[in-house]
Amino acid sequence: MRIYDLATAEQDFIAEVAARSHQDVRTCYQCGNCTAGCPYTFVYDYSVSQIMRLIQLGQQETVLRSKSIWLCGSCQSCTTRCPNRIDVAKIMDVCRHMARERGYATEREVKLFADSFLRSVERHGRAFELGLMVDYVLHSGKVFTDLDLAPTALARRKLPFQPHPIVGRDQVERIFQRFRQGGAHA
Ligand code: SF4
Ligand code: SF4
């Protein structure tokens, strides 16, 4: 299918992904190298090369409502394997942001965990694991998530009761403020 055969909404979606990722999605020729190296294909509803094809076809709803964009671990394997030098991981990232902006969170727990992580970094300048866990439990209601790991983590001093003070915490906070001023979405 040629791009000018697509409806305006489909073309707009392709253009938005391209503009926000600074990648030319048209150059993907479906070799499958990205999917072959993706460690999370086994839990995706659409493999990463299928996501690329869906974007080329302007299938906004299917892409933005997919589980795959939330389950992507941002490992960059797809990006390093692409023979056309497409930053595929960046495209997955952009799609996840676009899904957020439209109020889609197909994998709710993943979104809630990411939110808790970001709140922790904003508050302390880096992740404070214990606080992050409490925040996630409060927002998700998943009281017993990974609770069995707590005794081992505590015994190995992997879960400090106080956040570590870091230099430049206020600078980290300002990054979040600048992001919000730029038009962030919940
Ligand atoms: S960045 Fe995401 S899509 Fe790409 S290989 Fe890693 S997990 Fe898969
Ligand atoms: S590796 Fe690159 S060209 Fe090949 S399918 Fe993935 S995105 Fe397309």
Among 52, 54, 56, 81, which is best to mutate for testing ligand 2, by the most ligand atoms less than 8 A from CB?
A: 52
The three-class DSSP label of residue 67 is coil
Please report whether residue 162 resides in a domain: yes
Residues 152 and 81 in one domain: no
Please report whether residue 70 resides in a domain: yes
Look up the domain containing 26 and give its range.
3-101
Token pair for residue 16?
A: 């938005």
Domain end residue (candidates: 52, 81, 101) = 101
Closest CA to 164 of 128, 117, 120: 128
Q: What CATH number is attached to the domain comprising 46?
A: 1.10.1060.10
Token pair for residue 125?
A: 């300048």
pLDDT value of position 147? 64
pLDDT value of position 141? 80
CA-35 nearest atom, ligand 2: 6
pTM reported for the whole predicted model = 0.82
Residues 95 and 9 in one domain: yes
Closest CA to 63 of 73, 53, 72, 51: 51
Cα–Cα distance, 33 to 62 (Å, whole number): 22
Residues 90 and 143 in one domain: no
Asked if residues 51 and 34 have their Cβ atoms less than 8 Å apart, the reply is no
> Whose C-alpha lies nearest to ligand 1, atom 1?
74
The number of domains in the chain is: 2
Ligand 1: centre distance to CA 35 (Å): 8
Residues 49 and 128 in one domain: no
Q: What is the pLDDT along the chain (186 residues), one digit of tens a residue?
A: 565 567 888 999 999 999 999 999 999 999 999 999 999 999 999 999 999 999 999 999 999 999 999 999 999 999 999 999 999 999 999 999 999 999 998 888 899 989 998 999 888 888 888 888 888 888 888 776 766 666 777 777 777 777 877 888 889 889 989 988 876 554
Cα–Cα distance, 79 to 101 (Å, whole number): 24
Quick: pLDDT tens for 14-51: 999 999 999 999 999 999 999 999 999 999 999 999 99
> Whose C-alpha lies nearest to ligand 2, atom 6?
34
Residues 94 and 117 in one domain: no
Residues 151 and 71 in one domain: no
Residues 17 and 82 in one domain: yes
Give DSSP secondary structure letters for 62-110. Answer: HHHT-SHHHH-----HHHHH-TT---HHHHHHHHHHHHHHTT--SSHHH
Classify the C-alpha dihedral 22-47-42-117 as positive or negative. positive
**By CB neighbour count within 10 A (0-12 exposed, 13-18 middle, 19+ buried), where does 181 fall?**
exposed
Element at 37 (helix H, strand E): helix 33-37
Please report whether residue 145 resides in a domain: yes
Element at 49 (helix H, strand E): helix 48-56
Among 54, 66, 67, 78, which is best to mutate for testing ligand 1, by the most ligand atoms less than 8 A from CB?
A: 78
> Whose C-alpha lies nearest to ligand 2, atom 4?
31
pLDDT value of position 137? 85
Q: Using a 6 Å cutoff on CB, does residue 75 contact ligand 1?
A: yes
Q: Using a 6 Å cutoff on CB, does residue 73 contact ligand 1?
A: yes
> Whose C-alpha lies nearest to ligand 1, atom 8?
38
Please report whether residue 186 resides in a domain: no
The three-class DSSP label of residue 96 is helix
Domain end residue (candidates: 79, 101, 123) = 101
Residues 66 and 119 in one domain: no
Domain end residue (candidates: 101, 125, 156) = 101
